[in-house]
Structure 1
């Protein structure tokens, strides 16, 4: 059985590689359009740098320009690993449905990972196939191969979620300072776009990177309202969604935007205070729920280390249609349900 699965997986991988070779040898779609757009972006960026520089010395002209926050896009197009990226992209196109590609693209964008959805799926697929081939061909263990494959598939998705949460937390912590600087800039006579440019130069990442993206899109002819909406989709922040809504309404009906932003800042500050109080009061319940959920697993592991024969009956017991490992699976399912219920109870939205 294991040998047949090994042959099947190896054959499937071979077919995928053959399709990729033909796809790799063909001309990538839209290559000429990308080259024209890339040339236009480079020319626009150089023009902006000339306007910002007041004095240019010979030494500065010989040095390469400083990296800004969006240069990784061009760098990824021109780096030495371009062939590898084309290979992964072509593989991902074969393996990724359109709906899944769109959802995964949003996750990668929010996590600020410089990979396309097709490339990400291709890397997942290669890792899963390698682990399956290794488990079946070398270790001769199908259960271990399945477990490793599940881990290899889910771990990158969990990693994306962690990156997104970390980046969102950093972005939310910078919103109050951003609103204060924008309001002060408006009071000093700046336009809203000039105030955004000032904040982008003074703020740290990720706020600076996102605002620079808005300014660059506006310089390329994208409507400011659309750029702000796209920014809100990228960061996925409730507080910034409130700021975006207020700015869009003000641009339609008018009003004192500086005063409005100050009031919004006070509201967000109060929300953050309430969130902090809730997190402090629910921290004990979250830790208790996590400990209760992990206790049976830790206890079973300790018993197995002390007396393996005693615990092995859960996996070797047979009586008719019943198997001992059914109890293990059922217990794990109820453990996950209970842990999820506890986390939902202590997860209070403000």
Structure 2
């Protein structure tokens, strides 16, 4: 096999990147486990020892740029224990691994395309984590409104009710509400703290909850009855969203199967006729045709996902 050295280098880089990511996930899990043990022990004090940050100099330089600030904001919305420098290094290592592996299996031109797709994939991963965290938070909203309603019915102020909910609820709601409680403790207004929460986790349900709490704090009124009515509404929306997700699961699998079929066809062609893909991409016409084909597959994927998107 002529591309065996490139394949070996690519597999090695990809393995190293996965190993570093695995060690990072393991360290984060151990830290979360220790925090949970400390919380369950009810000692009253929890010493949070942050893990050692990697690539600190690169992280400082990136944070000073517009690109680094944008990435930092996205990472903060996902809840991942990552710095900007770590994220950039992991993405670059993954892109190099994709380039060498795909280029060795298919052709060097496909390695370049895979690296470009990997750049999009790195950003898509953050967006997916943000959507996943938002969905988890939405599922906790009925419980959150129930806790707030009970606390305000007992005569507690909204600031105290939010701090109590932060202690009782699991993550991500507990972590997000702790940030809100910390901002209120240092002098931020309720409008600003809840507004930042709505910006981090954008959703219709959260906007309704934030609007209800802000209007109640400004004009007064029956906040308890409003929260209890909102709890019933959120429970119904939660069930509706679950039913819609179940019905559209087959469509989402179809959207993923379309580009995978194209990849399978390329593997079959390259297996039956060695170096066919390399010869095809050796000319300008072949490269243009390959780019157009990839663009059509991407357009089909996005079109199917767009048509299957249902706003509840």
- The TM-score with structure 1 as length reference comes to 0.65
CA offsets 1:44-93 (integer angstroms, 9 cap, x no match): xxxxxxxxxxxx9xxx6xxx9324xxx4xxx44xx6x46x5541233325
Q: Give the SS at the match of 2:281.
A: helix
Structure 2: state its 5+ residue gaps: 1-41, 102-106
**Contact 1:171–1:206 at 8 Å: present in 2 too?**
yes
Q: Give the SS at the match of 1:323.
A: helix
Residues 130/313 of structure 1: CA separation in 2 closer, same or farther (3 Å cut): closer
Give the structure 2 partner of residue 338 of structure 1.
Answer: 300
CA offsets 1:281-321 (integer angstroms, 9 cap, x no match): 222222223323322221221222122255554224x5xxx
Deviation at 1:144, TM superposition (A): 7.5
Deviation at 1:155, TM superposition (A): 4.4
Matches within 5 A, 1:199-238: 199-238=165-204
* Equivalent residue in structure 1 for 2:264, among 287, 292, 298: 298
Deviation at 1:276, TM superposition (A): 2.3
Structure number with higher relative contact order (C-alpha < 8 Å, ≥ 6 residues apart): 2
**Contact 1:92–1:121 at 8 Å: present in 2 too?**
no
CA offsets 1:73-130 (integer angstroms, 9 cap, x no match): xx44xx6x46x5541233325xx642x334322211111134454x357536864897
* Equivalent residue in structure 2 for 1:246, among 212, 217, 230: 212
Q: Give the whole-Å Cα distance in 1 for the aligned partners of 2:97 and 2:242.
A: 43
Q: Give the whole-Å Cα distance in 2 for the aligned partners of 1:309 and 1:152.
A: 24
| 1:178 paired to 2:144 | yes
Q: Give the whole-Å Cα distance in 1 for the aligned partners of 2:97 and 2:123.
A: 17
Instruction: Name the Cα RMSD after superposition.
Output: 3.3
Q: Give the whole-Å Cα distance in 2 for the aligned partners of 1:104 and 1:231.
A: 18
Structure 1: state its 5+ residue gaps: 1-55, 136-140
Residues 295/107 of structure 1: CA separation in 2 closer, same or farther (3 Å cut): same
Matches within 5 A, 1:75-114: 75-76=49-50, 81=52, 86-93=56-63, 97-98=65-66, 100-114=67-81
Deviation at 1:183, TM superposition (A): 0.7
- The TM-score with structure 2 as length reference comes to 0.72
* Equivalent residue in structure 2 for 1:315, among 272, 281, 286: 281
Q: Give the whole-Å Cα distance in 1 for the aligned partners of 2:151 and 2:171.
A: 20
**Contact 2:55–2:86 at 8 Å: present in 1 too?**
no
Deviation at 1:178, TM superposition (A): 1.0
Give the structure 2 partner of residue 65 of structure 1.
Answer: 45
